[in-house]
């Protein structure tokens, strides 16, 4: 088993599912447990300035081994896994020399990953695929990235003949709940630019992402005894249902792609007296993004006119913005990554991220930070998988980036 796979299998055994409700950083104790293990490993490797702060942020430095001054490059990944699906008791399975057909993840529970549902599986015929047993997510988002960075740094230490400038490492908590950069100390990190290793399939290279907001719409009703309810009861759940039907039915994740934005209903709860809808709002174009937020506000205003002032209210919060604005002035860092991929035999796919990474917020905090593939597919669910060969290529790309920067 290659070094990157050994590390990956080790890391996915840590339960690091983040949690939006705790209000803590890190939001769950398992993240700190993994952070302590990674800190120990970095210290054993011999990196300098290894630190783990009270919020679960890890930073470390691999010093330059060349005389002249070259830019300081950083690599960043997150340790948490999505709260959308269980990341506890992960049981990885290896499918060597994959035959290109359906994969029975769990015979007892009849959980099958079908090529008809996930046709990109065919790309990996003949390779080795790591999956779950169908009862948890895998954690390739983003423990694949963590393992790839750790493996690349270890390789550089073991092969001093590879010339490189200073390489700075950062691991963050709570990216999956939009808080991965909340306490990231860019000045302390000290890199001129960085790359998040947090993308999907092999070859992905991204420097555009959604503008993103979280919206909570609250509805008030009035409850009376149902036998005496005529002309008195106001059922807040009916108002909420009416509201959600007024949003564009085709502007949802399952019907959009590329640069198309959406409204995504992520949670709903209700009783006669009080109901709530939670949405995430996404768009690449800032003008369209602002229009989407205004559409929700206008709709709430109309419902207040119909059902009474204060009976429908909106709370909306910006989460992150499109990093393209901050990357384009230093576009050469994307060019370096693209060239690195080509030199190790990977066809670059420069595409927009239909989501966000720590890199989007870090770019606005003064650390330009495009995103590079970690190799996984079907994140946040039971059908998540990662090809071994993709992870190994990610390590090669990291190493090649370091080499190219040293030659600048």
Are the C-beta atoms of residues 311 and 220 closer than 8 Å to each other?
Answer: yes
| H or E element in which residue 241 lies | helix 236-245
Residue 397 contacts residue 120 (beta carbons within 8 Å): no
Measured on CA atoms in the order 127, 13, 375, 39, is the torsion positive or negative? negative
Catalytic residue from among 175, 176, 204, 206: 175
- Two tokens, residue 371: 């995103």
Is 80 a residue of the active site? Answer: yes
Quickly tell me which residue has 């399939």 as its tokens.
Answer: 201
54 is catalytic: no
Residues in the chain: 408
Phi-psi region of 46 (alpha: psi -120 to 50; beta: other; left: phi over 0): left
Alpha helices in 27-74 (DSSP H): 29-45
Neighbours of 386 (CB within 10 A): 33
Q: If we measure between CA atoms, which residue out of 150, 143, 191 comes closest to residue 167?
A: 191
Catalytic residue, candidates 80, 148, 154, 384: 80
- What 223-229 contacts at long range (C-beta under 8 Å, 24+ apart), as own/partner pairs, is 223/271, 223/272, 223/273
DSSP-assigned states of every residue in 171-237:
EES-GGGT-TTTT--HHHH--SEEEEEEESSTTEEE--B-EEEEEEEEEE-B---GGG-TTT-B-HH
Sequence-separated (6 or more) residues with CB below 8 Å from residue 270: 219, 236, 237, 240, 276
Active-site positions read: 80, 175
């Amino acid at each position: 088993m290659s070094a990157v796979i050994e590390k990956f299998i080790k890391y996915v055994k840590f339960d690091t599912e983040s949690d939006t409700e705790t209000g803590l950083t890190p939001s769950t104790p398992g993240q700190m447990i993994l952070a302590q293990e990674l800190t120990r490993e970095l210290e054993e490797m011999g990196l300098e300035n290894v630190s783990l702060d009270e919020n679960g942020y890890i930073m470390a430095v691999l010093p330059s081994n060349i005389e002249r001054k070259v830019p300081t490059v950083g690599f960043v990944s997150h340790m948490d896994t999505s709260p959308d699906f269980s990341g506890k008791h992960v049981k990885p399975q290896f499918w060597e020399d994959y035959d290109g057909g359906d994969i029975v993840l769990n015979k007892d529970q009849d959980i099958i990953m079908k090529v008809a549902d996930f046709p990109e599986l065919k790309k990996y015929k003949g390779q080795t695929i790591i999956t779950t047993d169908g009862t948890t997510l895998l954690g390739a988002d983003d423990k694949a990235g963590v393992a790839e960075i750790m493996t690349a740094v270890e390789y550089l230490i073991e092969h001093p003949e590879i010339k490189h400038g200073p390489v700075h490492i950062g691991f963050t908590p709570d990216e999956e709940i939009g808080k991965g950069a909340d306490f990231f100390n860019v000045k302390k990190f000290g890199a001129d630019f960085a790359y998040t290793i947090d993308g999907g399939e092999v070859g992905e290279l991204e420097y555009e992402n959604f503008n993103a907001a979280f919206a909570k719409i609250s509805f008030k009703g009035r409850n009376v005894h149902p036998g005496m309810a005529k002309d008195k009861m106001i059922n807040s759940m009916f108002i909420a249902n009416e509201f959600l039907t007024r949003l564009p039915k085709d502007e949802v994740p399952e019907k959009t792609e590329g640069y198309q934005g959406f409204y995504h209903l992520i949670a709903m709860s209700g009783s006669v007296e009080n109901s709530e809808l939670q949405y995430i709002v996404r768009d690449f174009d800032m003008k369209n993004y602002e229009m989407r937020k205004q559409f929700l506000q206008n709709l709430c205003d109309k419902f207040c006119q119909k059902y009474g002032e204060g009976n429908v209210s909106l709370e909306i919060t910006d989460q992150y913005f499109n990093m393209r604005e901050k990357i384009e002035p230093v576009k050469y860092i994307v060019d370096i990554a693209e060239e690195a991929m080509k030199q190790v035999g990977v066809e670059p796919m420069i595409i927009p991220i239909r989501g966000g990474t720590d890199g989007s917020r870090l770019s606005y905090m003064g650390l330009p930070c495009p995103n590079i593939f970690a190799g996984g597919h079907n994140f946040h669910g039971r059908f998540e998988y990662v090809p071994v060969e993709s992870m190994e290529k990610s390590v090669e790309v990291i190493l090649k980036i370091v080499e190219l920067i040293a030659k600048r």
